[in-house]
Every structure is written in structure tokens, then in C-alpha cells.
A and B are shown apart, each in its own frame.
Chain A
Amino acid sequence: MDAELKPALIEYCIALGDDSVILGHRLSEWCRNGPFLEEDLALTNVSLDFIGRARMLYSHAAELEGAGRSEDDIAYLRDCREYRNLLIHELPNGDFAFTMARQFMIDVYDMAFFTELMQSQEPTLAAIAAKAVKESRYHLRRSEDWIKRLGDGTEVSHERVQAAFNQLWGYVNEMFSVSEQEQLLIDAGVAVDRSALQQNWHTAVQAVMLEATLETPDEDWTISGGREGIHTEHLGYLLAEMQFLQRAYPGQKW
């Protein structure tokens, strides 16, 4: 690969790692708060998958960078504006229906994204993608199942999951908008052209929502900025909790 693309590739790995670590942390907040024991364990497993994914991406970025930063430095020693995750990942969990609606939307996206990324010219990214696809296939099986259960469940569960989709819908466009720098990597066959995934995403999501007797919200608002480091007010609080230990006791190890 072209040496001048290296900074862009490092940014790309970090951005993907940010998506994973932020969602992984959000899901970890369900640990011991799950609706019942089995679901609590299952959600925590999913959380760990995302944190593991972030570790691989950060390690790879650190290795490419070769500047002595570790995966932990990347996760724990950057502030909000340096985080590059898509906004949907950082939203507070809300109720269980909101968490599952978000998870479902992300799982459909991740399945398509990482399937494409397996074709990357960058072998490490392709290998990480191959592992991620297996995980996401299971995540999607779970979240899709829950959307149908909640949507086609009781009046309350239907209302809640519909409300969740309505609140989340404005975060969808951002998932498919490509930056200039990303376009360079796409042209080099390294990155995934996310804009090409949008149509299939909508088809897949709407099919499940239809079966779950849910209505697809109108696209009358949209919000973005995560990939540029412009975040919602929620990310700061998340980082404050996630990074506390390393900030208070720098270099502390288990």
C-alpha cells in the first residue's frame, strides 16, 4: 500500500476502534442491570466482543503508527474531540427497547460493513473483519429476534421499541456518509465504501421492522459529526467514567 496513505489508514483503524469501544462500554453498563440473568450475561458477552474488536483495531493502529503509543493510550488518553466514533454508538442506553433497537441497527450495518472489509487490500484489516463478521452474525441473530419479540409483543413493548426507532432514525445517514480522506482509502481498495451499503441496510432493517409490526420513521431530521470529533453531550460523561482510572492513576495495571 501507498506510504502516503498511512496516516489515513491509522485514522481509519482508530475510528473503527472508537465505534467498537464506545458501544462496548455502553453495553457494559447493562452488566448486573439486565432484565434477567440470562440476558444480562448475553449482553455482557456482546459488550466484550466489541471491546475485543476495539483492542485489535487500536493495536493495529499503534503498530502502524510506531510512535510508542499502546492500545490503552489510544483508548484512555484521548478526549472527546479526538474520538471519531459514529454518534449512534455513544447514545445513552435508554430502556432495553432502545438498547436493542440501536443494537439491531448497528448489527445490520456491521454485518454489511465487515463483510465488505474482508476484501480489504490491507491484510490485518481483512483478518479483523473476518473475526468481526462471525461475532456480528450472532449479535444480529439476537437483536433481530428481540426486535420481533418487542415489536410484536405487548402494547407497552411495541410502543417503546417504536419510540426507540423514532429517536434513532436521525443517526442513520451518518453511518453511510464518507469523508474525503476515507475516499482515498476506498480508492486504494483498503476501506469500505459505506455509501454503497445504505440501500441494502434500509431494505434489511425495514423487512424486520415490518415483520415486527413497526413503522419505519420519516427521515425528517439528521445529525452527524462523530467522524470529525463533534459529538453529542453524552460522550464526555462516558469517557469520564471509562477513563477515570487511567487518568487518576496513570499507567496503572491489573
Chain B
Amino acid sequence: MKQQSLPLFEIFIRSKRGLDHRHVGSLHAEDHEQALEYARDVYLRRSEGVSIWVVRSSDITASQESDVASFYDPMDDKPYRHATHYKLPKEVDNM
């Protein structure tokens, strides 16, 4: 079996109950089932988690470098979308 022929999977681990799954890396495997097992062996050897998600890398749609100008720049001049833009009345301690 050549490694090049094995599809790539992205691995997400939940480290504790209540926390979100976080991306930890990727690995090669034949299918989802095997990817789960390898994720366990590659990323959870020291009890790093309680739950694993595996996603075929090719199934992820990612934003592109060329999208930067239209996706993110327009938000830069709209500070009123942040809560910190507004002055709080004294009666409100925290927000």
C-alpha cells in the first residue's frame, strides 16, 4: 500500500466534556473508520481527549487567499458591530 494512495483526514479532538472539538492535525487512512482508530493512536496516546471527529480533508471547503478583500476587509471600518463600541451606563458593571 502506498501512502500517497490513502486519503487525508482532518482530526478534531474534544479534550474535556463541555469543551469544543479542536483541530489537532491530519493523518492518512483508508476510510473514516480507520481514520478514527489512527486518530486514537496518533493523537490520544496521553489521554488528550474524550471524543474524536474525523473529516475527509477533501470535504472541507475553505476560503481562499483571493477572498480576503471581499470577505474580511469590509468589517474593519464597522466598529459599531463590537459591543465595546458602546458606552455602558454606570449601573452596568460587567458585560
Residues of A within 8 A of B (CB): 35-39, 41-42, 45, 138, 141-142, 145, 149
Contacts and interface: CB of A to CB of B under 8 A. Distances in A.
B76 interface: no
B33 interface: yes
Nearest to B2: A36
Q: Sort A-B residue pairs by CB-CB distance and give the 6 closest, nearest first.
A: A42-B41, A38-B38, A36-B3, A45-B41, A38-B27, A41-B41
**A interface, over-half SS:** helix
B24 interface: no
B30 interface: yes
Nearest to A36: B3
A38 B1 contact: no
B29 interface: yes
Contacts of A37: 3, 27-28
Contact of A35 (B1, B40, B45): B1
A41 B1 CA distance: 16
Interface of B: 1, 3, 6, 27-30, 33-34, 37-38, 40-42, 45
B87 to A, nearest CB: 55
Contacts of B6: 36
Given A35-B1, A142-B37, A45 B27 contact: no
Contacts of B34: 145
B41 A141 contact: no
Contact of B29 (A38, A45, A141): A38
B42 A36 contact: no
Nearest to B43: A41
A141 B33 CA distance: 11
B30 A149 contact: yes
Contact of B42 (A38, A138, A142, A149): A38
The winner among A36, A38, A141 for most chain B CB atoms within 10 A is A38
Contact of A141 (B1, B30, B37): B37
A66 B1 CA distance: 50
